[in-house]
Chain A
C-alpha cells in the first residue's frame, strides 16, 4: 500500500514538473537588440548575425563583427530561401526567423578580434601612414586643418605632377617638413586618424588644393606665387 502511494506521488510530481517545464521553457530565446542591421554596421549585433548565418551555412567568412559584402549576400540568400523580401537588411522579421532557426551562444569572455571598416581602396596601413603624416604636419591645427592636410595628400595622388601612391607622395624628398625632420614618426592621435578617414570619404575642406604653407615659417618665395584658395588655421592652401 505504502509502495503504491509513493509510486503515485512520484507520478504526480513527475507530471507537475513536466507541466512546469512546459510553462517555463528551460532556455529563454534571447536574440539581437531591436536595431535594424544595415550593411556597413559594426558591433555585437553583427557578430550574432554572422554567427547565426554561419550556423545555418549561409555565411562562410570570418566572424569579425563587420557587416560587409559576404554578410550581405548571406542575409539575402537566407531571405530568399525563407520566402522573405530580399533586401539585405536584417530587420525584425529576418532576425526573428534567424533566431528561431539557429543557435547562438553569446561569448562574453573572449572578445573576437576587432575588425574595422576601411574605406574602399585603402588598407589599414595606408590610413596609419596618412595619419602619421597628418599628425606630424598639423597636430597643432584645428580638426578641419588636419582633414585639409590629408586632403592635399590625396589630391596630390590624383594629380599628374606628383607620385601616385600615398607613400610616394609623403616621402617625396622635400615635400613635407615633418618628413624631412623626422616628426612624421610621432605616434598619431585619434583625431589624426578620424581626419584621414573623413578626407578619404570625400571631404576636402581645401577645395582641391595641392600645396599649403605656413606664412610665418615659409622660406620659399615661389610658394607665394601659387594661386591661393583659402586659409585654414595657420596654413594657406593653394593650387
Chain B
C-alpha cells in the first residue's frame, strides 16, 4: 500500500511531462507549418505583383516598338508572364473573394499576345484596332498594377499575414485588420487612374560573361603594396586599422580583401592581386546634412575617376539618395559609348568624400575594341524607330544584345505618351535590338 502511494503520482508526473513535451513539439511543428504556409502565400502574392509590374512594362514597351522582329518575341514574353501571373493568382487563398477583373485581364492579354506571337507579322502587321486594344490593355494593366502595389505596400509595412486573413474569413471576424481582403476588393472595383511602373532591364547587368578580367594590366603586388594602396584610397596611414586577406578559391579573380575600421568609419576594399586595381570599395560612415549639390558631387566623381586611372569615362546616370550621390560612368571611345565597361562612384553630399567605387564590370570587360564604321546612316536608323516616338537625343553605343553579343547601335532616347523610351537600332543591319522604358522615381506611399 505504501509503495503504491508514490507510484501513481510518479506515473502522473511522467505522463504530465510527456504530454507537455508532446504539446510543445506539436506546437512547434504547427508553428513551422504555419510559417511555411504563410511564406508560400507571401511568395505567390509578391510574385503576382512583380509579374503584373513586368507585364504592364512589357505591354508599354511593345507600344513603342516598330519592327516585328522585336514585337513577336515581346508577345511571347507577355504570354509567358501572363500564365505565370495566372499561376500566382491560383495559389492565393482567395477562395471566397472575387478575382474576376484580374483574371479577366490576364485572359484577355494572354489571348491577344498568343495570337500576335503566332501570326506572321510580315504578312499581316498589327492593325490600328489591335493597337488600340493593346493600348487599352496597357491602361488596364496600369490600374490593376497601381492597386496591387498599394496593397503590397500595406502588406509590407503593416506586416499583414495571409494566414490571419484566412483565419478571419473562417471565423467571420470582421473586426480584424482585413487590409489584404479589402485591398483586393478595391483592386477589383477600380478601373481608373494612371500610373507608370518601372522597367526591368538594365544594360549593365547584362554585361558579357566571357571576358573575365583578361585584360588586367600590371604585375602581381604583395600584401604590403596592397596595404599602401589601401592607405592611399582610404586616406589613413594607421596600419592598426587595417586587416588583409587573400580571396579564396571561388573568386573570379584573385584579390586582396582589405577591411578598415576606425571609430564610426568602416570600409572594405578589394584589390586585384595582378596590378592592384580596385574592383570594389565601400566606406560606411554617418552622412550628415547635405551641403553639396548633385552637380558639385558629379564634378568630384569625374575627377576621382580620372585620378584613379579610369580614362575617357563619361557620366551616364546620376542619382541622389539620402544625401548621397551615385554616378554611373561608361567608357567612351570614338564618340561611342561602351556600356559594358562601366564603373559606379558614390559621393557623400555632406563633405564630398568618395564613399564607394565599383569597377567589376570595367575590369572584367575592358579591352581595346575595333569596330567598323556603321553601315546604316543616322537618318536611316531614325526611320526605323516607331514614328510615334518623339526622338530627343541620339548617339552611337556598343551594347550587349539579347544573344549576349556586343553590337554597334544607334541609341535614341525619346518620348511616347509622357514616358521616356530608349531605343537601340543596330548600326550594321538596321534592326531594332532593344526597346526600354526609362524611369527611376516613385512617390512615397
Binding site for B on A (CB under 8 A): 35-43, 60-62, 64, 66, 68-70, 73, 76, 89, 113-126, 128-129, 132, 142-144, 147, 158, 165-168, 170-171, 173, 179-182, 185, 187, 190, 194, 197-198, 201-205, 207-209, 226-232, 237-239
Contact = CB atoms under 8 A, between A and B. Distances in A.
27 contacts: A40-B294, A42-B320, A64-B441, A68-B439, A117-B440, A119-B319, A121-B198, A121-B201, A123-B197, A124-B444, A132-B156, A144-B266, A168-B43, A180-B35, A180-B39, A185-B159, A201-B358, A202-B358, A202-B361, A203-B358, A207-B279, A207-B360, A208-B252, A208-B360, A227-B248, A229-B247, A237-B250
Contacts of A142: 266, 284
B250 A227 contact: yes
A179 B252 contact: no
Contacts of A41: 293-295, 320
Contact of A228 (B250, B270, B326, B442): B250
B440 A118 contact: yes
B192 interface: no
Contacts, number: 218
B421 to A, nearest CB: 10
Interface string B366-393: 0000000000000000000000000010
Interface stretch (B12-20, B46-54, B115-123, B172-180): B46-54
A66 B320 CA distance: 9
B50 A167 contact: yes
B344 A202 contact: yes
Given A125-B153, A198-B282, A230-B245, A35 B250 contact: no
A231 B248 CA distance: 9
A122 B50 CA distance: 10
Interface in B282-318: 282, 284, 290, 293-296, 298, 317-318
Nearest to A118: B442
B346 A125 contact: no
Contact of A207 (B200, B267, B280, B322): B280
Contacts of A197: 321
A208 B432 CA distance: 31
Contacts of A205: 268, 270, 280, 282
Contact of B250 (A113, A129, A226): A226
Most central of A38, A61, A202, A237 by chain B CB within 10 Å: A202
A181 B361 CA distance: 36
Given A43-B320, A142-B266, A167-B49, 4 more contacts: A201-B326, A207-B252, A230-B257, A239-B250
Interface of B: 32, 35-36, 38-40, 42-43, 46-47, 49-51, 53, 149, 152-153, 156-157, 159, 197-202, 204-205, 245, 247-253, 255, 257, 259, 266-268, 270, 279-280, 282, 284, 290, 293-296, 298, 317-322, 325-326, 328, 342, 344, 346, 356, 358, 360-361, 392, 415, 418, 420, 438-445
Given A64-B441, A144-B284, A202-B358, A89 B159 contact: no
A40 B346 contact: no
Contacts of B322: 190, 194
Most central of A39, A125, A232 by chain B CB within 10 Å: A125
Given A124-B444, A202-B361, A117 B319 contact: yes
B194 to A, nearest CB: 11
A228 B319 CA distance: 34
Nearest to B47: A167
Given A41-B294, A121-B199, A167-B50, A68 B440 contact: yes
B250 A124 contact: no
A228 B43 CA distance: 30
B420 A70 contact: yes
Contacts of B445: 124
B39 A171 contact: yes
A69 B251 contact: no
Contacts of A124: 153, 442, 444-445
B420 A69 contact: yes
Nearest to A203: B358
A117 B323 CA distance: 12
A36 B440 contact: no
B293 A37 contact: yes
B43 A38 contact: no
Given A179-B39, A202-B328, A209-B250, A36 B198 contact: no
Nearest to B88: A167
A122 B49 CA distance: 12
A40 B321 CA distance: 9
A239 B264 CA distance: 31
B156 A143 contact: no
